[in-house]
Structures are given as structure tokens and as C-alpha cells.
Amino acid sequence: MTAVVIDGRAFAADLRTRIATLAAEFEAKAGRKAGLAVVLVGEDPASQVYVRSKGKSTIEAGMASFEHKLPADTDQATLLALVEQLNADPAVDGILVQLPLPRHIDEQTVIATINPDKDVDGFHVTNAGRLAVGQPGYVPCTPLGCLMLLKDKLGDLAGLDAVVIGRSNIVGKPMAQLLLAESCTVTVAHSKTKDLPDVVRRADIVVAAVGRPEMVKGDWIKPGATVIDVGINRVPAATEGKTRLVGDVDYAGAAEVAGAITPVPGGVGPMTIAVLLRNTLVAAWRNAGLNLPADAI
Ligand code: NDP
């Protein structure tokens, strides 16, 4: 193996330490804690785990966590009323509605109801627009975490060829916008892309956000490239009845060729919650009219 392993767990832990320091500074200045409200509708087991973990991390960072758990049959009007109430609550800096929502609720309507200045997930069209035109706003946590890892590893990204595989609103598209803002030459690949291996071979930076286990092979990678694997796929393990997590990249193959690579687990995954805390803290400083020290987080 030639690639340097990008340790997302260590980077996220360091980021959380810096967030905790700034959260304490915020509390001293504002006279209240920065607050994140998380709304969960229904009993989806994976969502319950995420919500619990977000709440715990928020408290560990010295911020206030407001959890709202609603039954699966909650109607849309009730959910929208809760979002409006959180929009108006000065103790709440960030609002996150855990997705997916039950089928009888329209996700876009719910996201559109969140005040864009409390939209710490960065899913509101106002924040997508702000990202596209280069205005301050909130960027989806996973791609922002990927960018932080890339800048930490590579420094200035200007002029590098970046290929993003995947064009979802929550990962692929904002990732492409972030890399463009860093002056990369960006290609966005998707399920209709022709000759994907050849497209990926041009890349100095590969970000894989596809949802297909180990799809990106080692011989698709340009020697020395930096590979960011966003994928989280559960596949059968060698032991019968067990499963294991793999990314969208064939890690063993790619690590032979790449200059640096994120593992799964332990790469991008730990960054997502850390960036959620970061976005919430940024929202708190902005919403309180305070100036966050430049480049603090
Ligand atoms: P989506 O399913 O929304 O998007 C997948 C994208 O991959 C689509 O744009 C699709 O193209 C493209 N795609 C599918 N098949 C191919 C193919 N054969 N070749 C090229 N492109 C293809 O997924 P998400 O963006 O939400 O998530 C992507 C992965 O990242 C998943 O594994 C998910 O679990 C993981 N994830 C991890 C997070 C983390 O915290 N680490 C957070 C969020 C996601 P098209 O648009 O043409 O259909």
C-alpha cells in the first residue's frame, strides 16, 4: 500500500475540541448556550441512532440539544407548526429535521419552512443558492467535511482536476460547488456518464458518493491522487450472518495507487456530525450578532 490514510476520526475529534472552546466562548459572550433542535418523526431505527448520537455530541460540545420526537402518523401541518415554533425560538440556533420523513409528509415543503439562517443541514434552496453564488450560508455537512479533509491534506486546491461521482443535492452537487469555489476544474459524474473509469483517471481528487459498494477500482485511480470515499454500504461479512461496512471505492486496490485515501469506516463518516456542530456554532454567533474569530473553525 502506498497511500497515506486520511484519519477522519482524528480530524473530527480535533474539530470538536475547537468547537467546544468556541462554544464556551459563545456562552460567555451571549449569556446562553448555542442550541441545536433535532426533530425526528417516526421510529426508523437508523434515524433513532443518528438523532441520539447528534444529541449526545451537541451536549458534549457544550451546546444545548432540543430533541423533538413525534409519532410516525404525525400530520404535515403539525410538523410545520413545530418548525415554525423552532424558527421563532431564540434559544434555537440550528434546526435539523431528520430525513427520511414518513411518506405522507413532503420533505421539500418541510425543508422550505426552516428559516434558512437556522438551516444547519444546508438543504434549504436559499442555502443551495448562496453556495452557488458564493455568499455566506450553510453548506451540507458531509461535503463540507470532505472539503476540510482535502484542504488539510493538500493545502491549496487551485487548478487541480476533481471528479465528483454522484450528483445528489446533499453530497454530489454541493461537493462540486465547494471544489469549484476552491478553483478546481470540476467534473460531476453520474449514472449516465460514459467511460467513467477514464473520467476518474484524469482526477487529482476523486470524491465518490454513489452508494455502490466498492465500485471505484484501483486501476481507475491516477497514481498519487487523493481519494475521498463518502459511501457507506453494508455488505455480507466473511462470517455468516454478519455484515461489514464498505465504501464506494475498492479500498485495497485504490490504496495501492492513490497518494492519500479515506477509509470506511473512519474517514468521511465521523466528519458529518462534527460539521453539524460547526454549522450550529457558526449559526449561533451569527444569530447573536457576534463576530466569530476569522478561520476559527
Ligand atoms: P444518492 O442515491 O442520492 O445519489 C447517488 C448518486 O450516484 C446519483 O447521482 C447517481 O446518479 C450516482 N450513481 C448511481 N449509480 C452510478 C453508477 N453506476 N455510476 C456513476 N454514478 C452512479 O446518494 P447520496 O448522495 O445520498 O449518498 C451517496 C453515498 O454516500 C451513499 O453510500 C450514502 O450512504 C453515503 N453517504 C454518507 C454520508 C456520510 O456521513 N459519510 C452522508 C450522506 C451519504 P443519477 O443521479 O444519474 O441517478
Q: Where are the beta strands (DSSP E) in the chain?
A: 4-5, 35-41, 64-70, 94-97, 161-165, 185-189, 205-208, 226-229, 233-236, 243-246, 260-261
How far the first Cα of the chain sits from its last, in Å, is: 32
Q: Which atom of ligand 1 is nearest to the CA of 211?
A: 32
Q: Name residues contacting ligand 1 (CB within 6 A).
A: 142, 165-168, 170-172, 189-193, 196, 209-212, 230-233, 268-269, 272
In 3D space, the residue among 142, 62, 70 whose CA is nearest the CA of residue 110 turns out to be 70
**Chain mean position to CA 60:** 19
pLDDT of residue 296: 82
Residues of the chain below pLDDT 70: none
Per annotation, catalytic residue among 93, 117, 121, 204 = 121
The answer to whether 98 is a known catalytic residue is yes
The answer to whether 29 is a known catalytic residue is no
> CA 266 to CA 12: how far, in whole Å?
10
Find the 56 Cα to ligand 1 centroid distance in Å.
27
| Inter-residue contact 210 to 200 (CB < 8 Å) | no
> CA 52 to CA 48: how far, in whole Å?
6
Which residue from 144, 147, 149, 190 has its CB within 8 A of the most atoms of ligand 1, so it is best to mutate?
190
Answer whether 0.75 is exceeded by the pTM.
Answer: yes
pLDDT tens, residue by residue, 183-217? 999 999 999 999 999 999 999 999 999 999 999 99
pLDDT of residue 47: 95
The answer to whether 121 is a known catalytic residue is yes
Find the 232 Cα to ligand 1 centroid distance in Å.
10
| Inter-residue contact 22 to 297 (CB < 8 Å) | yes
pLDDT of residue 297: 85
What Å distances lie between residue 208 and 128, 142, 146, 201, 212, CA to CA?
20, 12, 11, 13, 9
pLDDT tens, residue by residue, 138-171? 999 999 999 999 999 999 999 999 999 999 999 9
Which residue from 191, 273, 275 has its CB within 8 A of the most atoms of ligand 1, so it is best to mutate?
191
HSE, CB side, 13 Å, CA atoms: give it for residue 262: 35
pLDDT of residue 294: 75
C-alpha torsion 134→137→142→144, nearest 10? 50
